[in-house]
Amino acid sequence: MRIAIQANSNASSQAARQKLIRGLKQDNFEVDVPHPEVVITIGGDGTLLSAFHRYADVLDQVRFIGVHTGHLGFYTDWRDYETDDLIAALKRDSGESTSYPLLDVLVDYEDGTTAHFLALNEATLKGTSGTMRTDVYVKENFFESFRGDGLCVATPTGSTAYSKSNGGAVIHPRLAALQMTEIASINNRVFRTLAAPMILAPDEWVSLRPEPFQDYVMSIDQFTAKPAMITAIRFKVAAEKIRFASYRHMHFWDRVEDAFIGEKKPDAL
């Protein structure tokens, strides 16, 4: 098995990386190859997001494993002190995996060029120096004229991140849906938006057509850019999926409980 390891710069992550490399090489795994079958990330969800974008062009060829060195993340199943157990699981590997939906983002620019992105969590478009103004379409049908700070379109796993902070629902990743949430929308006698999260079916898509000559910034997961003049952005459920090696993949609602509630009641007698 060919394995690549990506770790953040924290001392604990680097120490876990070195220990893992030594153990993998002792068991004759190919480590840190350019074309891996398994990508192990060590750090947190941010480290895994970086690895996802690094290998986004070969998602059908790789599975991911997250090792966390801090608080439990939504994409990390192992702790840094469990490297021996992880190596034992890799030795027993039979190709099992758990898949999560992704967000497909297609951007049209004023100069006629296009750009394509995949997001694991979410994509946003925000105004930077004033109110963002954009028309919103569902499929090809006009839905609303949005006025506010911005809009966020999230995957089911991304529903626990920035989307939730905007009042969005938490969606189980078995539902291949998209969720659009508003960021500080303006609602008065002149401007009117839905003022509620929208959950779109897998065969639907949402498009934004911002008014020209605005100052705005676009983000794909944790990466932000002040783009060239955008004429339209289309969001839909991606054909690709991310796959995690599911040796002991934690149940989604257990992750939600651990992250946001953190109090498990004893089993009822």
Residues making up the binding site for NAD(+): 45-46, 121-122, 147, 149, 160-165, 184
Name the phi and psi angles at 51, rounded to 5. -65, -40
d(CA 140, CA 77): 40
Rounded Cα gap, residues 181 and 177, in angstroms: 13
- Gyration radius of the chain's alpha carbons: 20
| Amino acid letter, 202 | P
CB 202 within 8 A of CB 176: yes
User: Under DSSP, is residue 189 helix (H, G, I), strand (E, B) or coil?
Assistant: coil
Question: Which residues are part of the catalytic machinery?
Answer: 45
Residues in the chain, total: 269
Q: Which residue has the tokens 């021996």?
A: 84
Torsion-angle region of residue 20: left (phi > 0), alpha (psi -120 to 50) or beta? alpha
| Residues whose CB falls within 8 Å of the CB of residue 90, separated by 6 or more in sequence, listed in order | 1, 3, 24, 27, 29, 38
Share in percent of the chain as helix, strand, coil (round to 5) = 20, 40, 40
Feature table: binding site: 45-46, 121-122, 147, 149, 160-165, 184
**Are the C-beta atoms of 61 and 71 separated by less than 8 Å?**
no
Q: 3-state DSSP call for residue 204?
A: coil
Select from 60, 18, 13, 15 the least CA-distant residue to 35: 60
